[in-house]
C-alpha cells in the first residue's frame, strides 16, 4: 500500500521537473527564463529556440500529467474512502502545482496547460480530444496560443457539465469540481495574456522573439 502523502509528494516533485529550462540549456546553452516571454513553456521555447526543442518540452510536460495520474490509477492506498478517480485527481492537482510552482527553480514555472492536458487526457479523454481540435482551429485562425488554451479549458468544463446534466451521462462530481478549479487556475496563470489579448499586444504564434 502506498500512502496518500507519498503520492502527492511524488506527483508534485514530478511536476517540478523544469523540462523547458533543462532542454533549452542543453540545446542552446541559454536560460529560457531570460528570453522572450520568460516562460519555460513550449510556446516560448518554440519562439526563442525552435520547433524540435519545443516539441520535446511539450511532450515531456504533457507526459508529467499522464504519468502522475495513470501511475496511481490502479493501486490501493491506506485511505479506503478514496476511489480511483479521486486518487487520480489528487495526483493531477499535485503535478500541476509542481509544474506551475516548481521547488527546483524558485517556485516559478509554466502556466500549467501542457501538464494539465496530460491530466485531462487520462480523466476525460473524449472531451480533451475535442478541446484539442478546438485549440488547433483557434490557433490556426487567430495565431494566439493563449486564446486557444483558455478556450479549450473552458470547453472541457462546459462539455462535462452538458454531459452530466443535459445528457445524463455518468460524470463524477469530483471530476467536475476539479475541472472547474483547473479552468479557473488556467485563467489565473494566463492573467497577463488576457490583458495583452484585450489590449491587442499579445504575441502571435510563429513570431520569433528573443
- For the segment 37-55, what is each residue's pLDDT rounded down to a tens digit? 999 999 999 999 999 999 9
Whether pTM exceeds 0.75: yes
Decide if 88 contacts 73 (C-beta within 8 A): yes
The tens-digit pLDDT sequence of the chain (210 residues) is 568 889 999 999 999 999 999 999 999 999 999 999 999 999 999 999 999 999 999 999 999 999 999 988 877 666 667 788 889 999 999 999 999 999 999 999 999 999 999 999 999 999 999 999 999 999 999 999 999 999 999 999 999 999 999 999 999 999 999 999 999 999 999 999 999 999 999 999 877 666
Contacts of 87-90 spanning 24+ positions with Cβ under 8 A: 87/7, 88/119, 88/122, 88/123, 89/123, 89/174, 89/175, 89/178, 90/4, 90/7, 90/8, 90/11
Short-list 38, 75, 45, CA closest to 60: 45
Amino acid at each position: 500500500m502506498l500512502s496518500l502523502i507519498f503520492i502527492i509528494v511524488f506527483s508534485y516533485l514530478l511536476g517540478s521537473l523544469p523540462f523547458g529550462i533543462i532542454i533549452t540549456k542543453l540545446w542552446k546553452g541559454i536560460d529560457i527564463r531570460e528570453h522572450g516571454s520568460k516562460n519555460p513553456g513550449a510556446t516560448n521555447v518554440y519562439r526563442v529556440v525552435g520547433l524540435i526543442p519545443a516539441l520535446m518540452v511539450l511532450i515531456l510536460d504533457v507526459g508529467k500529467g499522464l504519468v502522475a495520474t495513470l501511475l496511481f490509477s490502479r493501486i490501493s492506498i491506506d485511505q479506503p474512502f478514496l476511489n480511483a478517480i479521486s486518487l487520480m485527481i489528487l495526483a493531477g492537482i499535485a503535478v500541476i502545482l509542481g509544474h506551475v510552482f516548481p521547488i527546483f527553480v524558485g517556485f516559478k514555472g509554466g502556466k500549467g496547460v501542457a501538464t494539465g492536458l496530460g491530466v485531462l487526457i487520462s480523466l476525460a479523454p473524449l472531451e480533451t480530444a475535442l478541446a484539442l481540435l478546438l485549440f488547433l482551429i483557434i490557433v490556426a485562425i487567430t495565431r494566439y496560443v493563449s486564446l486557444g488554451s483558455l478556450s479549450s479549458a473552458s470547453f472541457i468544463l462546459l462539455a462535462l457539465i452538458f454531459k452530466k446534466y443535459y445528457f445524463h451521462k455518468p460524470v463524477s462530481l469530483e471530476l467536475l469540481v476539479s475541472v472547474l478549479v483547473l479552468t479557473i487556475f488556467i485563467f489565473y496563470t494566463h492573467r497577463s495574456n488576457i490583458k495583452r489579448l484585450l489590449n491587442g499586444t499579445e504575441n502571435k504564434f510563429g513570431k520569433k522573439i528573443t
